[in-house]
Structure 1
Amino acid sequence: MDWRDLHVLATLCREGSLAGAARSLGVNHATISRRISALEDEVGERLVRRLARSTPLTEKGREIAAMALEMARQSQLIERLVHSSKGMITGTVRLTAPPAFISETLIPSLPDFRKRHPNLRLILSADSHIASLDKGDADIAVRLVEPTGQQNIVRRLGNISYALYATHEYALHPTNDWQFIGFDAALADTPQQAWLERYADGRTFSLLVSDFYSQRAAAEAGLGIALLPERIAETSEKLVRIDDRQPLPRSAWLVIHADLKKSSAVRAISDHLIRLFGADAGESGPGKLARRVAAVGRPK
């Protein structure tokens, strides 16, 4: 039985879809389907249900995938052992984190990281929702909600601060006419959205979107006032901070699956994340940025 076919089935089980498995393995859908079909011919029965919008595994498929996942884990341990004896850090680490952190902080830091660890592969999932480490969704997570479980390793990284931003022209509008840009229903229960609604005090929300980048674009277009992470807003040439009032910073937490605490690859990524947040410990955000408060005479 071809291990590569088993590896594809295990990846399909872990990722939950043909598209996810293809992305994870760096191949196309046709390759995934071909290897699954070859494995089914070898086994003599269906392992995957090919539905219009999903590809769930059959009971037999789940049983084989569970064993294949354990084989993959053992294979990774062998790989790490071999390379550690050569003084190299290798392997694949799956990291899930908020989109803004990945785009604004992590990715710009990766060229230097890759120079130190050229054989380490990183799979990034930019997701505002909480991924399950226990179900294999990720090896490491950066979360903005303090983890409550005891089965994983948790470390507080630092704070992410938020402030109110708009264009200078919009800030000149009478404050009673201000409109706001906030989160849609998917993230309506976040602490910063609750704070913004209290600040708005009944004034209109002109736009609701699901991510900070759309909020920044809307504020730059003059559609209203947005509560943005300082890290994102301060990169804009069009926005100014309009008020000294701001919500309490949100803590960022590093979560590592307990089974991977001795992995040199996971430790390398974790140490890098800790350095990113600790580089400017005196600033509330992950990077030290100049604060620009709009010096405007706002009519009441």
Structure 2
Amino acid sequence: MFDWEDLRHFSTFCATGSLSAAARVLSVDHATVARRIASLEASLNLKLVDRRARAYVLTEDGERVGELAGQMAASSFALEHFASAGQQTVEGEVILSAPPALLGSIIARRLGDLYKHYPQLRLRLVGSKSRASLARREADISIVLSRPTEPTLVVSLLGHLDYRLYASADYQASGSARRYIGYDASQAHSPQQQWLNRQAGEQPFALLSNDLRIQAQACAGSIGIACLPAFMAHEHGLTVAGQPEQTISIEIWLAVHEDVRATPRIKAVTDFLHQQIKPLLRL
């Protein structure tokens, strides 16, 4: 008989595509994931992965076992969801995934009200630029910048974030040639970066980062012009560097799995987000 934990680690590896990604989801090191996969292979007497220099690649047997493991994981989560839905008190952990800038600048600082009403609640805030899987319970609630399409999710529009060109007063007063701050290659296809590229034209980029907070801090340091949401620009004392009509609007969506949306602790957090966060976003 195989170890269920071995199967869980292998299923996460199949879902994420790499040892390091699976390790991050499971909060272990990649050597543990590799050891669990080897243990599962020994238990099943099957070769599940080809071990190559830079990656593990699923074998044909590995792909089939991965499909079955995924079905078993889905059933396990469905059972957890069913049990949670029967609870009447607001207590326990809720995992909220959202872009780091939203978590840090808008959500985290407004949580005091939530905890006053629900002191037994525990929140785990996960700053993520990619969409966390609600089906695999990488998160219970997800806030994302494009509408999710998975049929098992219940989604609602929280509002819009308007992005504009901002710079420090010192930079604008210096008369320096225009230069820009933007995302690196990992976010090169984001709507914000594509829009910024059009605004910059042939002008150079002085700094690239995958973290919007670093971009804002660099902008405050008078390095150049950045494309930022208003709340972040105001935090750093920045002023509009372009025309007021130079704006890109990004949709902010909230998603929760249909099986858990009525669970008291999940509903308490989603209600809070709609009541406290939604008014801060332009509708």
- What's the TM-score bracket when you normalise by the shorter of the two chains? 0.7 to 0.9
CA distance in 2, matches of 1:35, 1:210: 32
Q: State the TM-score, normalized to the length of structure 1.
A: 0.71
After TM superposition, list the pairs within 5 Å mapping 1:129-144 onto structure 2. Answer: 129=130, 140-144=141-145
Letter in 2 for 1:20: A
**Partner of residue 289, structure 1:** none
Q: What is aligned with 1:278?
A: 278
Q: Report Cα offsets for 1:242-272 as digits up to 9, x if no partner.
A: 5661414322122345565556665454334
Partner secondary structure for residue 49 of structure 2: coil
1:156 is aligned to 157
Q: Output one character per residue of 1:168-200: Cα deviation in whole Å (capped at 9) or x when no partner.
A: 22121338x333323445545555445545555
Q: What is the SS of the residue equivalent to 1:23?
A: helix
Alignment of 1:198-217 (within 5 A): 199-200=199-200, 203-217=203-217
Q: 1:180 aligned to 2:188?
A: no
2:56 partner SS: coil
Identity %: 35
Distance 2:122 2:60 in 1: 34
1:210 positional shift: 3.5
Over residues 139-191 of structure 1, what are the superposed CA-to-partner deviations in whole Å (9 max), with x where a residue is unaligned? 6543323456766433110121233332222121338x333323445545555
**How large is the Cα RMSD of the aligned pairs?**
3.9
Write the mapping of 1:87-102 to structure 2, written as runs, cut at 5 A: 87-88=88-89, 96-102=97-103
**Partner Cα distance (1:61, 1:170) in 2:** 56
What does the per-residue CA deviation read over 1:199-218, in whole Å, with 9 as the maximum and x for residues that have no partner? 55655443444432232232
For these two proteins, the number of residue pairs brought into alignment is 280
Rounded Cα–Cα distance in structure 2 between residues aligned with 1:200 and 1:145: 24
CA separation in 2, counterparts of 1:147 and 1:225? Answer: 31
Letter of the structure 2 residue corresponding to residue 102 of structure 1 = L
Point out where structure 1 has 5 or more consecutive residues left out of the alignment: 286-300
TM, length-normalised to structure 2: 0.75
Match of 2:9 in 1: 8
CA contact (8 A) 1:144 1:250 kept: yes
Counterparts of 2:77 and 2:150, CA distance in 1:
26
Do 2:181 and 2:207's aligned partners in 1 also have CA atoms closer than 8 Å?
yes
**Counterparts of 1:55 and 1:89 in 2: how far apart (Å)?**
42
Q: Is the 8 A contact 1:15 1:137 kept in 2?
A: no
* Inter-partner Cα distance in structure 2 for 1:90 and 1:61: 39
Give the whole-Å Cα distance in 2 for the aligned partners of 1:143 and 1:166.
26
Q: Which residue of 2 aligns with 1:42?
A: 43
Q: Distance in 1 between matches of 2:60 and 2:115?
A: 40
